[in-house]
Amino acid sequence: MAKSKKIPAGRRDFLKSVAAGAAALAAPVAALPATPAPPAEEPLSRSLPLLPPDIESDPPPEPEVLNIGRSGSDFMVDILKSLGIEYVCSVAGSSFRALHESVINYGGNSNPEFISCCHEESSVAMSHGYAKIEGKPLCIFAHGTVGLQHASMAIYNAYCDRVPVYIVIGNNLDATKRDSAYGEWAHSVQDAAAMVRDYVKWDDTPISLTHFGESAVRAYKIAMTPPMAPVLLVADSELQEKPIPEDAALHIPKYTPAAVPQGDSGSVAEAARLLVQAQNPLIVVDRYARTQKAVDLLVELAETLQAPVIDQAGRMNFPTHHPLNQSSRRGAVVANADVIMGLEATDFWSALNTMHDQVNRTSRPIMKSDAKLISITMGDLYTKANYQDFYRFVSVDLAMAADPEATLPSLIEETKRQLTADRKQALQARGTKLAAAHQAALEQARNDAMYAWDASPISTGRLCAEIWAQIKDEDWSLVSILRHFSWWPLRLWPFDKQYQYIGTQGGGGIGYNAPASVGAALANRKHGRFSVSIQDDGDLLFAPAVLWTAAHHRIPLLSVMHNNRAYHEEMMHVQRMANRHNRGIDRAHIGTAFEDPTMDFAKIAEGMGVYAEGPITDPNELAAALKRAVAVVKRGEPALLDVVTQPR
Amino acid sequence: MTRLIRPAAVALCATALLGGSARIQMATAAQEGKSSTAPAGNAENGKQLFMKNGCYQCHGREGQGSVVTGPRIAPDPLPFEVISGYIRKPTGEMPPYTEKVLSDKDLADIYAYLQSRPHPPTAKAAPLLK
């Protein structure tokens, strides 16, 4: 067997030569060059080569090349610039060292700027949070193997949350070029995207720069077309590092955003008819609003119909203090509704039913059995099989596989056209009742917040009120999940701008909140907004070094710890099981509580270069501490307050 | 915090419903003529039991409740018979506490603790909420 051959050309040329060789093999024997008869003593294997001579034999010595001009990675950076990508979040890695260097030198480390991360999960979650503020992705660089494995859970979160994430991973596909000294064998993979293919919308492994250019723009377009989702490109190391041939005719493909589908006119007219004729229509929204325009359109539709809105809080969809916001009255308004329309209602079923978590899990509908259901969702156009984030099937009466934001203008127009004067009068009476119920619910929330006002550990209602008092005059943006915080801000604060709340992690994967809040704050920085996050303790423990990233890059963010010193929901789950088995719950803290010793998050943050105070256990110390932290953030730096809190 | 959560879709409104429904179910039972006579209990011991038995996990250390996990149960708890009946045989999301894991005496002490919780100031007295 002949020795392996060093191929001086790029991988593209190598592939071409292999193809040529394969073609020669496939040709009839008569077409092969005549082979002289071997001497009798020569081994048979040398007289009948399995591959053409140009493949089998060693190449001529390759002259050492020490310097080159532009390399493929420079072109890749040109592509990223053409897409308007502002940042690259990355943990440095050898399989994309050329891309790294091209960003910081060839690209001038500006648009994109390299953001130093300490965990690939943080890189992706930062992108997740950034995209929900900015409406577009930044870029992530990662190793094709170990880096992508670290990133995987965060990619899944973004996929479930319908958020565009743009990932470029390095790989060494050509086995003859892998250097064991750099660990390149273990860092190489045949099909790098395979492990995340279930939860990315598209991936590709380009084998030429022209191919990379087209796939890079295609990937961006796919990620940005609703339903938005992560995409992944594999940038082969050799493709990154080889010089761009002088005669290369490279060009950057043009990116044109795709217009998204609207509901057809017949369906829109029928939806309007059902809503106008309904005695008690209801609108349910979850991941609906991508822009402020979407919020404004929903307000217009709700006011036109005087219809209540339930915001399932996947985004900031509808102003919290609007009289038609009935989110805290779900049971009453669902039970009363005769027409219910879901707009990107990801889990529409759970808005209309309850599930009972006892030994035998049972469910029951809340809605009337004859209520008509309408859905407008892009989810009908894109569903995968393996991961089950599509939720329980809902039998709707009218389904539009369309983008709700794009459909609402025509739905509003048609609704107004169908409304008669008599009908408008009836709607106003309905609206008056709903406004009164909204006001009562708001007063109830304010009264509820007063319970345990002076308690230590500090009540979540008190903490929410204290934060509000310090940020209410800022152009604020709440960049954290709220479920574990009893949803207090959505109950008490007046949200009316789309960027004021970014929803949840999507897939329920913990470790999202800290990096996503830093990413969202990075996006808010250029707009001069004040970013605030209510940070769960357990979440921060997954990858706390994102605090260093915030400090290093001067990302202004106020993180207020909701430090209940436990994986508290898990503690409740264990308690439920112990109760079920009649065993008492005095051991439910095992494996769930952060005690003996407790953790000092202020010291952790200080160790990362972040201004921090705490642990704060006296509610009367909150105001002053918050004032000091707000001042730090307004100087353009991150700050963290460790507040020891009630469980929920 | 949690690693496995119910989706946001359930979140704000559903949990509000669940928390509210438990209190409504208990209140309904109270209206059905049950007495409100509570046995004597030790509030200080009740506080320890309230924590030890994990009542605080869903209802807060002061019994203030949460729209996510469980309704407010203090101050002014519902009648003892209603609460004790519900704890033994809940009809909502609450896990059951049988006499094997929580005696009637312990229950009486916990009830005394709930009764001892101070009333909060009114929201109007709290400028932070404006």
**DSSP string for A5-64:** ----S-HHHHHHHHHHHHHHHHS-GGGSPP-PPPPTTS-HHHHS-SS-HHHHSPPPPPPP
B2 domain-assigned: no
Omega prior to B75 cis, within 30 of 0: yes
Residues A232 and A468: their CA atoms lie apart, in Å, by 40
Chain centroid to CA A393: 24
Q: What are the b/e assignments for A5-18, b being 16+ CB within 10 Å?
A: bebeebbbebeebe
Record: contact A484-B2, CB cut-off 8 A? yes
- Give the residue from B1, B68, B69, B100 with the most A CB atoms within 10 Å of its CB, the best one to mutate: B1
B56 domain-assigned: yes
B124 domain-assigned: no
Sequential DSSP letters for A592-632: TB--SSPP-HHHHHHHTT-EEEEEE--GGGHHHHHHHHHHH
Record: contact A538-B54, CB cut-off 8 A? no
Reported CATH class of domain A72-241? alpha beta
Beta strands at A202-204 and A139-143: parallel, antiparallel or unpaired: unpaired
Return the pLDDT at A43.
43
B38 domain-assigned: yes
Record: contact A570-B56, CB cut-off 8 A? no
Structure tokens at A372: 């008509």
Residue pair A554/A635 in contact by the 8 Å Cβ criterion: no
B129 domain-assigned: no
Record: contact B14-A451, CB cut-off 8 A? no
Architecture (CATH level 2) of domain A265-436: 3-Layer(aba) Sandwich (3.40)
Q: Which of B54, B98, B121 sits opposite A453 (nearest CB)?
A: B121
pLDDT in tens, B28-76: 444 444 445 789 999 999 999 999 999 999 999 999 999 999 999 999 9
Q: What is the DSSP letter of A143?
A: E
Domain of residue B84, CATH code? 1.10.760.10
Q: Mind telling me how many Å the CA of B114 is from chain A's nearest CA?
A: 12
pLDDT in tens, A372-410: 999 999 999 999 999 999 999 999 999 999 999 999 999
Answer whether residue B6 shows pLDDT above 60. Answer: no
3-class SS of residue A424: helix
For A34, counting Cβ atoms within 10 Å of its Cβ (0-12 exposed, 13-18 middle, 19+ buried), the class is exposed
Answer whether residue A606 shows pLDDT above 80. Answer: yes
B98 domain-assigned: yes
Give CA angle at B103 (B102, B104), nearest 5°.
Answer: 125
Integer angstrom CA distances of residue B115 from A15, B25, B62: 80, 20, 10
pLDDT in tens, A128-165: 999 999 999 999 999 999 999 999 999 999 999 999 99
Q: Tokens 């040329």 appear where?
A: A13
Which are the contacts of A508, defined by CB distance < 8 A and separation ≥ 6? A157, A160, B2, B3, B4, B5, B7
Record: contact A572-B58, CB cut-off 8 A? yes
Average pLDDT in the A346-364 region? 93
Tell me the chain A residues in contact with residue B2 when contact means C-beta distances shorter than 8 Å: 484, 508, 510, 538, 567-570
Of A8-22, A110-124, A174-188, A391-405, which gets the smallest average pLDDT?
A: A8-22
Average pLDDT in the A304-333 region? 98
Q: Mind telling me how many Å the CA of B23 is from chain A's nearest CA?
A: 14
Which structural domain, as residue segments, surrounds residue B81?
Answer: 11-119
A vs B, Cβ pairs < 8 A, gives 209
Per-domain boundaries in chain A = 11-56, 72-241, 265-436, 451-644
Amino acid letter, residue A178: R
Q: Mind telling me how many Å the CA of B24 is from chain A's nearest CA?
A: 12
Record: contact B126-A453, CB cut-off 8 A? yes
Tell me the chain A residues in contact with residue B128 when contact means C-beta distances shorter than 8 Å: 465-466, 468-469
Chain centroid to CA B44: 17
Record: contact B121-A450, CB cut-off 8 A? yes
Task: State which CATH number among 3.30.110.40, 1.10.8.60, 3.40.50.970, 1.20.140.10 fits the domain covering A451-644.
Answer: 3.40.50.970
Query: Which residues 444-463 in chain A show a CB within 8 A of chain B?
Result: 446-453, 455, 457, 459-461
Return the pLDDT at A63.
78
Record: contact B98-A582, CB cut-off 8 A? yes
Q: Which of B66, B69, B120 sits opposite A450 (nearest CB)?
A: B120
Q: Does A494 touch chain B (CB under 8 A)?
A: no
The number of domains in chain B is 1
Average pLDDT in the A209-230 region? 98
Is A451-644 the same fold as A72-241?
A: yes
Record: contact B67-A328, CB cut-off 8 A? yes
pLDDT in tens, A49-73: 444 545 555 666 677 888 889 999 9
Residues B50 and A74: their CA atoms lie apart, in Å, by 64
Omega prior to A59 cis, within 30 of 0: no
Q: Mind telling me how many Å the CA of A329 is from chain B's nearest CA?
A: 7
Q: Mind telling me how many Å the CA of A531 is from chain B's nearest CA?
A: 20
Residue pair A341/A316 in contact by the 8 Å Cβ criterion: no
Q: Does A182 touch chain B (CB under 8 A)?
A: no
Q: Within 13 Å, how many C-alpha atoms sit on residue A19's CB side?
A: 6
pLDDT tier, A17 (very low <50, low <70, confident <90, very high otherwise): very low
Which are the contacts of A623, defined by CB distance < 8 A and separation ≥ 6? A466, A469, A470
pTM, full prediction:
0.89
Answer whether residue A42 shows pLDDT above 50. Answer: no
Structure tokens at A432: 């008056």
Phi/psi at A195 (5° precision): -70, -20
Percent of chain A at pLDDT > 70 equals 91
Return the pLDDT at B36.
58
Locate all alpha helices (DSSP H) within A197-291, ordered by sequence. 209-224, 237-241, 265-277
pLDDT tier, B92 (very low <50, low <70, confident <90, very high otherwise): confident
Residues A234 and A215: their CA atoms lie apart, in Å, by 10
Record: contact A586-B53, CB cut-off 8 A? yes
Q: Which of B14, B53, B65 sits opposite A350 (nearest CB)?
A: B14
